Chains A and B, each alone.
Chain A
Amino acid sequence: MSVNKNLKILIVDDFATMRKVIRNLLKQGGFENIVEAEDGVAALKVLQSQKVDFIISDWNMPNMSGLELLKAVRGADDLKELPFLMVTAEALKDNVVAAVKAGVSNYIVKPFTAEVLNEKIEKIVKGMAA
């Protein structure tokens, strides 16, 4: 069973180049339906205006960090179950554990390959289905 490649994925990162990198990697995995936001605040706006199936968010952003975005998402009734993949370069315990406690679906550590990203997405989506 393979994941529906039509998932609408929201990439949240303040660094445009990084968004492009992730977009490219997603494309390699066959995901084409992608929207972007430059920080947590912008991401929440996107979430209000359209239905998104999956969030890939950076940890470290101005205005609203990835963790704050996660908490906001989990705090909204209609977004409670939204798959949320946290991208982090600081695989430091505190950060990841805090995200895990806040209900992150999974996390991924930079740099990653298209394969690993794919694996994580599949794992999350399948976990949700079960």
Chain B
Amino acid sequence: MDYSELRQEVDAIASSFLFLEKKEIEIPLAGQFLNQLEEAATRADALGAAEVKRLAGALSQLLEKVVLDGVDAEKGYGLFERGIVLLQAVVDGYCNAGRYDGNMEDFMGELASGIGIALEAQTTTAPNAERASGEPPATEATPAKATVQDESLLRDFITEGLEYIGEIELNILNLEQEPENKDYINAIFRPFHSVKGVASFLNLDKIRILAHDLETLLDKARNEAIAITPELIDLILDGSDTLKAMIGQLRDELEGREAGEEIDTSDIIRRVKLAETCAEQPRQPKKLGTILVEDGVINESDLEVALERSQVPPPRKLGETLISEGMASPKDVSRGLRKQAQQVTDSNTIRVDIKKLDDLIDMVGELVITQSMIRQSDTLQSLGDRKIVRDLAQLASITSELQRSSTVLRMIPIKQTFQRMSRLVRDLAKGAGKLINVETVGEDTEIDRNMVDEIYNPLVHMIRNAVDHGMESPEERIKAGKPEKGTIKLRAFHRGGNIVLEISDDGRGLNREKIRQKAVKNGMISASDNLTDPELNRLILLPGFSTAEKITDISGRGVGMDVVKQAVEKLRGKMDIQSAEGRGTVFVTSFPLTMAIIDGMIVKVGNERYILPTVAIRQLIRPDRTSYNCIVGEAETINVMGRLLPLVRLHDLFEIEPVHRNPWEATLVVMEGEKRSKCLLVDEILGKEEVVIKNLGESLKRIKGVSGGAILGDGNVGLILDPEGLFEMAESN
């Protein structure tokens, strides 16, 4: 081992030190020592001289403290002197014996406590560190609008400061799109830094403090201590707005204008401090453009123009162009950027291709079936081994938990759909010359990602209908004594395993007389038919019905509500209309939350097995003979806790030979439909199971009362029944 170079390095430090005139290590020399110690440590590391490395590192730390005025200069000098002597001794030991046998712990302890004590007196927050360098602390008591002698300096500051803050606004949009780009953070950091610097000289303390806090926040973002989130961007924009306002006030004051009330910065500072302390994961950015169009900030042609202009060298970001061309405000653009990001992910999320998720959920579905088949295997059960039984039970509970959590993966809030719909209402209203407000309720209601796209089209049609037919023109509304501006309300909530979406307007309501005339004309009903209001309402859901007097570009192109109804039903959804003339119309649709699985009760009728959605089941009963009622020519009823419910015989509906015909011998399932409950007569209940819904294929899709099929745990196929469909079948018989 050749320690000679290491020894030269250490000796060089020692001799430079020896020639010092004053008992103080000045900065240029400290820099030289730091570099030499670093070099020595690297060499020591390569040679395996651990003590040398450790001591050199400790001395570097000492020097850093000296440089930062963290220790008293003379004390630092004394410690360094002893340290360098010790370092020479350690290196000597290695040169002579290849190791160091002496004790350096005493010195290390002293050094640590020497630096440590200094540290204690010198907490590392930035304001204190600034004070440490011998500068007088900023006069904290000075009022915000300080006395400034040099007016021209102040004027310069105002002009330049406002310019710089304008720069922040432009750069922040770049940052929002590319949060990992350090250049953008720097470009924002610098103006705050400069504003703060000058403000500190001009004793503009409120500006200095806010700029300082924003700078610190950005510094943390730059060092990746905190993530660039939409909230952070917002906060920075708010901060720069506040700075701008304060500088603007200075200008007003300088020009002898009324400056207005003093700006309160405590709230924004509190938010900045809060943001500094909470760390979040960075999010994924996406492209801009369409969001802004959707939001009505710009229109399509604006967008095209802006996109073109962005291409003109030097190329710029779309957001930049929009702002500098005055087509959108920085806030709008940033809000658009954020919105887009939110659609994809909130904080602490990752993006996964929906296809992968679908595959995963499918596989989990298959896994559930397979484990169920294993569990019911006769061979295994005949073993009677308690351990296997226990393990199988464990397997079952894990798989069902897995299934539950994998299905939840695909659930997303209905929010995005609502936003698109709100946007649509605004566009349509503009086209039709109507004034319409959109209100949304229940945006956080969740629905399967795969359902979102499916339900969108029917919903769009209903919206169009509401805007075009439902809502009156402003003049008509005033005439009718209603507020000029109409309201369309979008409401979402969960009910009975379904998501219910309501689109209500406060427009003119359905004109039932007109509907009746049209229906008579089309031969749907006869003039003498006496229909109830709900029945009349539902007529517009029948094929070939449209009451629109004129064809607009919005709706009334012959595609009626019947198409919507079919689309809804295809999704196992239900649709209804409520309307009050002159007061408005409500389209109520309900959809299953997911198309993938269903929690089912397996029932047996004869030799057949059926699956009933558990969500629709209210009760399972075996009634007394006395609670059964049959009036000749009328429906059979069962008295269930004081309510008379119609009896539906499943065996009759499906023409099967049952084991039991008497309700008091069979089992009754009290099922809840959309509006009514009925008792379903079955032979017996086999159990409860979560089944993966399998499509029955095109040919069997429309069979009433059946919504799908499923592979049961024993490997057999069972049909999934649709309560509402069954009820309708029962009612039409």
Interface set of A (CB-CB < 8 Å, partner B): 13-18, 20-21, 24, 58, 60-62, 87, 89-93, 96-97, 100-113, 116, 123, 127, 130
Contact = CB atoms under 8 A, between A and B. Distances in A.
B529 interface: no
Nearest to A123: B26
Contact of A100 (B67, B160, B198): B67
A97 B63 CA distance: 9
A76 B654 CA distance: 96
14 contacts: A17-B161, A17-B194, A18-B194, A21-B201, A60-B189, A89-B197, A91-B129, A93-B68, A100-B30, A101-B31, A105-B28, A113-B135, A116-B134, A130-B21
Interface in B129-161: 129-130, 132-136, 138, 150, 153, 156-157, 160-161
A61 B34 contact: no
Given A24-B153, A90-B219, A109 B135 contact: yes
Given A21-B153, A91-B129, 9 more contacts: A18-B201, A60-B189, A89-B193, A91-B126, A101-B34, A102-B31, A104-B31, A105-B27, A109-B133
Contact of A89 (B130, B136, B202): B130
A87 B135 CA distance: 13
B136 A113 contact: yes
Among B136, B194, B196, chain A packs the most CB atoms within 10 A around the CB of B194
A81 to B, nearest CB: 10
A116 to B, nearest CB: 6
Among A105, A107, A110, chain B packs the most CB atoms within 10 A around the CB of A110
Contact of B156 (A16, A58, A109, A112): A16
B190 interface: yes
Instruction: Label chain B's interface by main secondary structure.
Output: helix
A17 B198 contact: yes
Interface of B: 21, 26-28, 30-32, 34-35, 38, 64, 67-68, 124, 126, 129-130, 132-136, 138, 150, 153, 156-157, 160-161, 164, 186-187, 189-190, 193-194, 196-198, 200-202, 212, 215, 219
Among A20, A58, A102, A113, chain B packs the most CB atoms within 10 A around the CB of A20
Given A21-B153, A105-B28, A111 B21 contact: no
A111 B28 contact: no
A21 B27 CA distance: 25
Among A14, A106, A109, chain B packs the most CB atoms within 10 A around the CB of A109
Contacts of A110: 130, 196-197, 200-201
Contacts of B38: 101
B198 A14 contact: no
Nearest to B30: A100
A96 B135 contact: no
Contacts of B201: 18, 21, 110-111
Contacts of B133: 91, 107-109
Nearest to B190: A60
B194 A100 contact: no
A101 to B, nearest CB: 5
B198 A18 contact: yes
Contacts of B68: 91, 93, 96-97
